C-alpha cells in the first residue's frame, strides 16, 4: 500500500494506492504534485531495532500528513497496518497514544 497526499489546482487530496501502477497513474497528470508519499509495506532494516525505527518514522510522517479526504475503509486499512506492526515491534501503546491506530 502507498499513502499519497497530492496538491493540484483545486486543493489537496489523499490517496491510498495498492501498487506502483496506481501511483504512476495518479502522478501521470503534470498538474498533480506529490506532497507526501509513504510506502506502507515491509519495513526496511536488517535488525529489529532498524525496522522499529522505520515504523516509528512512517508513523510520524503519517501523523504530520494526515488528510481528511480518505475513505473510512482506507483509514481502517492504514490503522490496521500500524496496529499490526506496532504490536510486533512494541510500539502499539505509543501509536495509540498518538491516535495513529
- How does pLDDT run across 11-45, given as a tens digit for each residue? 899 999 999 999 999 999 999 999 999 999 999 99
Considering the entire predicted model, what is its pTM? 0.91
CA 48 – CA 42 distance, rounded (Å): 13
The sign one gets for the Cα dihedral 18, 64, 37, 85 is negative
Residues 77 and 1: beta-carbon distance below 8 Å: yes
pLDDT at 81: 97
The answer to whether 74 and 16 are in contact (CB under 8 A) is yes
Please, which pLDDT band fits residue 69 given cuts at 50, 70 and 90?
confident
Amino acid at each position: 500500500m502507498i499513502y499519497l497526499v497530492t496538491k493540484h489546482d483545486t486543493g489537496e487530496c489523499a490517496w491510498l494506492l495498492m501498487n506502483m501502477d496506481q501511483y504512476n497513474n495518479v502522478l501521470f497528470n503534470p498538474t498533480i504534485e506529490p506532497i507526501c508519499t509513504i510506502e506502507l509495506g515491509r519495513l526496511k532494516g536488517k535488525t529489529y531495532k532498524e525496522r522499529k525505527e522505520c515504523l516509528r518514522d512512517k508513523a510520524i510522517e503519517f501523523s504530520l500528513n494526515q488528510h481528511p479526504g480518505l475513505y473510512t475503509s482506507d483509514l481502517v486499512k492504514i490503522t490496521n497496518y500500524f496496529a499490526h506492526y506496532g504490536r510486533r515491534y512494541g510500539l502499539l501503546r505509543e501509536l495509540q497514544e498518538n491516535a495513529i491506530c
